[in-house]
Amino acid sequence: MGAVTGYASSFALVLAGAHAVGADPGQAASGLFVVTVGQGVLAIVVSLALRLPISIAWSTPAAAVLVGASGITGDYSAAVGAFVVTGLLLAVTGLWPWLARTMTRIPPPIASAMLAGILFPICLSPVFAAVQLPLLALPAILVWLVLARFAPRWAVPAAVLATAVAVVVAAGPDWADGVSLAPHLELVAPSFDPLVVIALAIPLYLVTMAGQNIPGFTVLRSYGYEPPARTVLTVTGLGSTVFSVFGAQTINLSALSAAIMVGDEHTPKDRRWIATVTAGTVYVLLGLGAGVAGALVTASPPILIESVAGLALIGALTTAVVGALAEPEGRVVAVGTFLVVASGVAIAGLGSAFWGLVVGAVLWLVLRVGRRAAA
């Protein structure tokens, strides 16, 4: 259940993110194939080795960063270089305790507001799609709405299925012409553009830590598990680095699917690792369909794919907004960070996620640290 829900609810976002930074259809499908199979294999290996329910998934917030990064680079090799650096930063976080402690101390208003600012433009996509392509977009939105009321867990997968049907019907029997449906690998030699690394790798790293790894560890600990953070971060970081040369995006400890699997009260606590091993196996099987998923995205108008991604991220946006505004004394910091990130501005080749962090840090220092010092 966790693997199917996680895959169906966000694979379109992963593909849209790859296209946004210059991937062609074959490269995007290769990346989806490798990241899906890779996270499945790592979940199996780590869960078996530790006998803990370690759920591993791609970074949905990182994919959202890529969707909003189309103005930063159209050179996919430079984006892959940023993926490599992100993976190395995650691995270093596992190996360097000081950095791990520092990451857990990022002020919640800044981290949550940055994530909210990244997600906000994507969550507007269903609105634009409904206006531009009502016959294709509205059925999926209505399916999502109905199931969000009666079967929330299936709302996004059903919306994805409705969109796929609409695309196939609209494109006709030749919807997959010229696109390989078989899973395949495409090696992408990374290039390291300093501006792209700063503009992409740092936001990818931060949202993955703040939006996936830290909540993932929190979920496990809330159920009485003590996962070895060093091992998990190092393995997922190195895995991200190796897989990235095939176009795979960042992988990490899962939060949502982890909650689904470790919260199964009908299974003894010391046997729940079987669920994550099973989920890893399902991910490997789902990876075989990456070519079909890539063909559907290729046949679809971009705004339609972004619309499905926006529906999938409404819950994440809600959580981020609530987290950003939870502390009354940090709300100005949060709103300032959100506005800069959501604006989409790019200055000196660096995107809005980077500048939002800068503005958030300045606001925090002036409005919070300065106030405490004066007191």
DSSP string, 195-216: HHIIIIIHHHHHHHIIIIIHHH
**pLDDT confidence band for 2 (50 / 70 / 90):** low
User: How many helices (H) and strands (E) are present in the chain, helices listed first?
Assistant: 20, 2
Is it the case that residue 325 has pLDDT exceeding 50? Answer: yes
Is it the case that residue 209 has pLDDT exceeding 70? Answer: yes
209 vs 257, more confident: 209
pLDDT in tens, 8-40: 777 888 888 898 898 988 898 899 999 999 999
Is it the case that residue 374 has pLDDT exceeding 50? Answer: no
**pLDDT confidence band for 372 (50 / 70 / 90):** low
Q: What per-residue confidence (pLDDT) applies to 297?
A: 76
Copy the structure tokens of residue 153.
Answer: 């867990």
Q: Name the most confidently modeled range: 88-92, 100-104, 168-172.
A: 88-92
**pLDDT confidence band for 176 (50 / 70 / 90):** low
Q: Average pLDDT for residues 85-106, to the nearest whole number?
A: 87
pLDDT in tens, 36-54: 999 999 999 999 999 988 9
Find the helix or strand (DSSP H, E) in which 58 lies.
strand 56-58
Which residues, listed in sequence order, are joined to residue 350 by a DSSP beta bridge? Answer: 347
Virtual torsion, Cα 285, 291, 292, 293, nearest 10 deg: 90
pTM: 0.81
Q: Which residue, among 192, 280, 196, 272, has the nearest Cα to 236 in the 3D structure?
A: 280
Average pLDDT, the chain: 85
Is it the case that residue 375 has pLDDT exceeding 60? Answer: no
Q: What per-residue confidence (pLDDT) applies to 12?
A: 81
Question: What is the gyration radius of the CA atoms in the chain, in angstroms?
Answer: 20
Q: What per-residue confidence (pLDDT) applies to 258?
A: 67
Q: What per-residue confidence (pLDDT) applies to 1?
A: 54
Q: Name the most confidently modeled range: 7-11, 59-63, 252-256, 348-352.
A: 59-63
pLDDT in tens, 122-163: 889 999 999 999 989 999 999 999 999 998 878 888 888 898
Single-letter residue type at 274: I
High-pLDDT (> 90) share of the chain, % = 31
Residue 196 Cα distances to 68, 189, 209, 230, angstroms: 13, 15, 19, 28
Copy the structure tokens of residue 22.
Answer: 């210059």
pLDDT in tens, 274-303: 888 988 898 998 888 888 877 877 778 888
Q: What per-residue confidence (pLDDT) applies to 157?
A: 84
Is it the case that residue 180 has pLDDT exceeding 80? Answer: no
